[in-house]
Copies of this chain bind each other. A is one copy, B any other.
Amino acid sequence: MITFASDFGSPYPAAVRGVLARRSSARVADVAHDLPRQDVRAAAFWLRFVLPEFPPAVHLAVVDPGVGTGRDALVVRAGEHVLVGPDNGLLFPPARRLADGGAVEAYVADPGDPASATFHGRDVFAPLAADVHGRGSAPADGVAAMDALSPAADPVGLRLPEPSVEGSVARGEVLAVDGFGNAITNVPGDVLDGRDRVRVNGTPAPVVRTFAEVDPGERLVTTGSHGNVECDVNRGRGDEAFDLAPGDRVTLRF
């Protein structure tokens, strides 16, 4: 299986699906093509969240503000999974999660001579993902069989920011806002254990397990399905009600 995630919108992903179908008989599963545009950190958060649900696969992931500038093309082996995409840090947060404490090995791939300067998803990364998939009987086996890979000497690292928790105060950041306006932080949900109320940057809200515990239009703070604290409104937009955007600092006081 090859999964495919990007910030390409529509209809550009279709060209990539075409290349994958032409070069591979693998099943292709779309992840999303509305990843936060050119926001490598937020996109990495989403990939870290969803890719571990898949069986071993080649994961093609392209959010690539530096397309055409000479940044490398990477193939990353993480446990039984392989990730293919640009060398801008995007692949590492999901790779570490997929490796589950094991090694994450990054290789630089020869990009060949791409047909365009602006669509390496089609011209570089999709052929690479198809090639890796086709080389081995399992996704990770394909990496060893690739000729045109060399160990990445100094790949762009990316670690999602770490929160701090001291006593009844947790400090972190907003990693992403989803399409419903839920503001997702990097603070682990277990800080909410045993709490009934919290102030988020001064704004009070109840701590609940499910949206249905508050009335429509009311603020709530809960542990999202990614395991992190999120600031929401039942049937409304948490980002607006809490005045939060990706990258904003959040302080939770209990």
Residues of A within 8 A of B (CB): 1, 3, 5, 9-12, 14-19, 21-22, 27-32, 34-35, 37-38, 46, 49-55, 57, 65-69, 115-119, 122-123, 178-180, 209-212, 222-225, 227, 235
Q: 27 pairs across A/B with beta carbons < 8 Å?
A: A1-B21, A3-B18, A9-B178, A9-B180, A10-B32, A10-B179, A11-B46, A11-B50, A12-B225, A15-B50, A17-B29, A17-B30, A17-B53, A18-B50, A18-B53, A18-B54, A21-B29, A21-B57, A22-B55, A65-B212, A69-B212, A117-B223, A118-B209, A118-B211, A118-B222, A118-B225, A119-B225
Chain B CB count within 10 A is highest, among A1, A50, A225, for A225
Chain B CB count within 10 A is highest, among A9, A29, A51, A53, for A53
Least CB distance from A6 to B in Å reads: 11
Please, which residues of chain B bring their CB within 8 A of the CB of A30?
14, 17
Please, which residues of chain B bring their CB within 8 A of the CB of A22?
53-55
Tell me the complex Cα distance, A10–B123, Å.
Answer: 26
Are A122 and B17 closer than 8 Å at their CB atoms? Answer: no
Are B223 and A18 closer than 8 Å at their CB atoms? Answer: no
Least CB distance from A62 to B in Å reads: 13
Tell me the complex Cα distance, A224–B122, Å.
Answer: 12
Please, which residues of chain B bring their CB within 8 A of the CB of A50?
11-12, 14-15, 18
Please, which residues of chain B bring their CB within 8 A of the CB of A15?
49-50, 53, 225
Please, which residues of chain B bring their CB within 8 A of the CB of A21?
1, 27, 29, 54-55, 57
Chain B residue with Cβ nearest A33:
B10
Contact A14 B31, CB 8 Å, known A55-B21, A222-B118: yes
Q: Which of B14, B46, B210 contacts A67 (CB 8 A)?
A: B210
Least CB distance from A126 to B in Å reads: 9
Chain B residue with Cβ nearest A35:
B11
Tell me the complex Cα distance, A1–B115, Å.
Answer: 25
Chain B residue with Cβ nearest A22:
B55
Tell me the complex Cα distance, A46–B27, Å.
Answer: 24
Tell me the complex Cα distance, A62–B50, Å.
Answer: 18
